[in-house]
């Protein structure tokens, strides 16, 4: 090997080493923040229109998910006053309390209900999942809609602006999904019956990621069992 070749090889090796050193360890998955708006509308045979609207914020990163209901300021004050009035008593509003879900390397789930006012994490066992509105599906919680469900739907045209539209007929219902291909979540899901008297609509938008994931604060909370709330 000539001197010039050895010099070139040494330069290439040092450049490669510098690049690898700069890259460092594999970066952690990015924290994603989503706002999920739900609307449900039904027109009864009595002629009364019934509408339900609520929104949640979903934070997901790697094998962690945090789902929190959006509450008006008045609700936050009411929860604080309720906690003070029942100091020493076991209480948590599981309908609106954040849900913290983690998955380990084997796929086993750890599910908690987080009481911000009590600074406690209540561990929830599978038998109690339905009490907190969790169906036990990691895929549904993480993606908001299990991607496997898309296999039974018809793709409507090509991907447009990063979104693939799917449609399906389920009995008298029609379902339309606008799937964000890169983000792996539905931007919009609409379900309605043939007459239009029953309609469900979900819209998902991205939010700026917070400086710290919400579970980082909750990791300092005391551990408790969800069954304690039933005593």
Judge whether 12 lies within some domain: no
Entry pTM: 0.81
Judge whether 24 lies within some domain: no
Contact 69, 41 (CB under 8 A): no
The label of the residue with tokens 């309609």 reads: 199
99 vs 121: CA distance, rounded Å: 9
Higher pLDDT pick, 13 / 128: 128
Closest alpha carbon to 202 in 231, 164, 167, 175: 175
pLDDT at 4 over 50: no
pLDDT at residue 26 in the model = 58
For 198, the domain range is 32-230
pLDDT 10s digits, 132-160: 999 999 999 999 999 999 999 999 999 99
Judge whether 21 lies within some domain: no
pLDDT at 7 over 90: no
Tokens (6 digits) for 102 = 């983690």
Q: Report the helix count and the strand count for the chain, using DSSP H and E.
A: 4, 12
Name the domain count of the chain.
Answer: 1
Judge whether 11 lies within some domain: no
Looking only at Cα atoms, what is the longest distance across the chain?
93
Judge whether 9 lies within some domain: no
pLDDT 10s digits, 208-221: 999 999 999 999 99
pLDDT 10s digits, 25-75: 556 789 999 999 999 999 999 999 999 999 999 999 999 999 999 998 866
Which CATH number characterizes residue 71's domain? 2.50.20
Please name the residues in contact with 61: beta carbons below 8 A apart, sequence gap of 6 or more. Answer: 28, 29, 30, 31, 32, 213
């Amino acid at each position: 090997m000539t001197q010039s070749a050895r010099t070139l090889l040494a330069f290439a090796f040092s450049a490669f080493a510098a690049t690898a050193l700069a890259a460092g360890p594999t970066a952690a998955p990015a924290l994603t923040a989503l706002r999920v708006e739900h609307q449900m509308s039904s027109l009864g045979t009595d002629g009364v229109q019934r509408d339900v609207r609520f929104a949640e914020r979903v934070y997901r990163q790697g094998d962690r998910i945090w789902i929190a209901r959006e509450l008006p300021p008045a609700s936050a004050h009411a929860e604080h006053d309720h906690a003070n009035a029942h100091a020493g008593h076991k209480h948590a509003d599981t309908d609106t309390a954040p849900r913290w879900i983690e998955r380990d390397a084997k796929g086993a789930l750890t599910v908690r209900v987080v009481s911000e006012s009590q600074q406690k994490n209540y561990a929830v066992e599978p038998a109690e999942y339905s009490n907190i509105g969790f169906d036990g599906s990691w895929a549904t919680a993480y993606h908001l809609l299990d991607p496997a469900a898309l296999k039974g739907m018809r793709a409507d045209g090509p991907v447009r602006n990063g979104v693939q539209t799917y449609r399906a007929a389920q009995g008298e219902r029609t379902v339309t999904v606008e799937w964000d291909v890169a983000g792996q979540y539905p931007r919009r899901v609409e379900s309605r019956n043939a007459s239009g008297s029953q309609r469900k609509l979900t819209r998902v938008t991205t939010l700026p990621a917070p400086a710290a994931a919400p579970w980082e604060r909750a990791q300092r909370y005391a551990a408790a069992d969800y069954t304690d709330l039933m005593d």
